[in-house]
Amino acid sequence: MSNPTLQAVRGMNDILPDEAGLWLWFEEVVRDWLEAYGYRNIRMPLVEPTALFKRAIGEVTDIVEKEMYSFRDDLNGDELTLRPEGTASCVRAVLQHNLLYNAPQRLYYSGPMFRHERPQKGRYRQFHQIGVEAMGFAGPDIDAEQIVMCARLWKKLGIRDVALQINTLGDVAARQRHREKLIAYFEQHKDVLDADGQRRLYSNPLRILDTKNPAMQELVAAAPKLMDELDEDAITHFEAVQAILQQHGIAFEINPRLVRGLDYYNRTVFEWVTTRLGAQGTICAGGRFDGLIEQIGGKPAPACGFAMGVERLLALLQEDGMQNPAAPLDVYVVHQGEQARIQAWRVAEDLRDGGLRVLLHCGGGSFKSQMKKADASAAVCAAIIGDDEVAANVVMLKPLRSGGEQQRVGLDDLQHKVRELIK
């Protein structure tokens, strides 16, 4: 009996070469964009102590309550978790290495995140984020800059139909007042609350506003507004963010129900949403988290950041008909005979020395079958080497895309002639 084929874990995807081209292109665009704003790359482990996420994200949140891949390391008993998001790890790394010692930091990271959710279009158990964090900045300018920079990325990527929603969550005192009013309000409507809502009523009533349960939408819409509790400083901050957005012609909608699924946010929060990906329409989300650094054990420092979902962004691009950029290849080297093989290796290495992308035929076969493979490759031309060519120190150079004539080219001239063809 043959072994059954093993499958990837549900909700965790392979990105095959045909699609990976689009990822590579995207990552390059993103990197240029981040560097244009002075953000520097940071790389954290995929696994962190479970306590980090509990402390940072909040015990009574969807992520910590039901989405984390947590396990005990049998070798030493440590409680560990596959990171469900990057902000907590990033703050942990910044504190551990004292990066905020004498300068604020603009940082970014990218990579897989893990959440045990129900897999569907735009929602996976391993998904990828680009995360951007500015730490040590208190003013509204950095919040606005992060939003302006998102708008630039959408433009660069040619993404339309994405709308900006913003809100402010105020500061601790306002949230406390709001919390008390929310509890009083939901207590009066206990019968409408679902199980999650009942459970969170006293532990985290704000989270009830984040519910996706259609039966609770009306209740939630009429709930007391945090807006009505805001302190002067938070209002001024929020207005300053809006003013900068207006100066840059960035349209936004204030959505008082935007509370975000993680506890650490305060003041400005924002989401970029499209209607084109069904229920999974949020492609980018973030906000200010002035309390988090202290909560993780650092000296208090303000901060603001956001993360975007790469799968959702790429899905949008694909819906717009974006093609996977073909794997770039300049030359396919075809050869037959012992001397020709040795020469072909040399020619291929020389072309690569000159910066060209070269595929050397491996596995033998007739000229005819090798040429078929060359045609099927994305290469611009074929360099053909047989015993005659070795003897004369030349190669036959055949354009594969332009339909031009095959020509006999001296080895010294090859680099130059190939460059003419790929222009």
> Residues within the annotated binding site for L-histidine?
85-87, 115, 129, 133, 260, 264-265
Q: How far is the CB of 210 from ligand ATP (least distance, A)?
A: 8
Contacts 24+ apart (CB under 8 A), 112-115: 112/46, 113/83, 113/84, 113/85, 113/86, 114/46, 114/68, 114/69, 114/82, 114/83, 114/84, 115/63, 115/67, 115/68, 115/69, 115/84
Q: Taking CB under 6 A as the rule, does residue 124 contact ligand ATP?
A: yes
Closest-approach residue to ligand ATP (CB): 309
Which residue among 261, 298, 365, 399 contacts ligand ATP (CB under 6 A)?
261
Neighbour-count burial of 203, counting CB atoms closer than 10 A to its CB (0-12 exposed, 13-18 middle, 19+ buried): exposed
Pairing type for strands 394-399 and 381-385 reads antiparallel
Q: Which is nearer to ligand ATP, 127 or 238 (CB)?
A: 127
Site size toward ligand ATP (CB under 6 A) is 19
Identity of the amino acid at 120: Q
Q: Taking CB under 6 A as the rule, does residue 312 contact ligand ATP?
A: yes
Q: How far is the CB of 305 from ligand ATP (least distance, A)?
A: 10
Which residue among 142, 174, 230, 285 contacts ligand ATP (CB under 6 A)?
285
141 neighbors 244 (Cβ within 8 angstroms): yes
Q: Which is nearer to ligand ATP, 280 or 339 (CB)?
A: 280
Identity of the amino acid at 124: Y
Q: Which residues are annotated as a binding site?
A: 85-87, 115, 129, 133, 260, 264-265
Q: How far is the CB of 348 from ligand ATP (least distance, A)?
A: 41
**Site residues (CB under 6 A) for ligand ATP, limited to 56-115:** 85, 115
276 neighbors 161 (Cβ within 8 angstroms): yes
Q: How far is the CB of 125 from ligand ATP (least distance, A)?
A: 7
Residues whose CB is less than 8 angstroms from the CB of residue 392 and which lie 6 or more positions away in sequence, other chains included: 408
Q: How far is the CB of 287 from ligand ATP (least distance, A)?
A: 9
Task: With contacts defined by CB under 6 A, name the span among 41-49, 134-142, 303-311, 391-399 that binds ligand ATP.
Answer: 303-311
Q: Which is nearer to ligand ATP, 309 or 386 (CB)?
A: 309
CA distance 314 to 128: 11
Short-list 197, 206, 269, 271, CA closest to 238: 269
Q: In the block, which residue shows the tokens 């703050």? A: 91
What is residue 216's DSSP assignment? G
The residue ranges that bind ligand ATP (CB under 6 A) are: 85, 115, 117, 122-124, 127, 129, 261, 280, 282-285, 307-309, 311-312
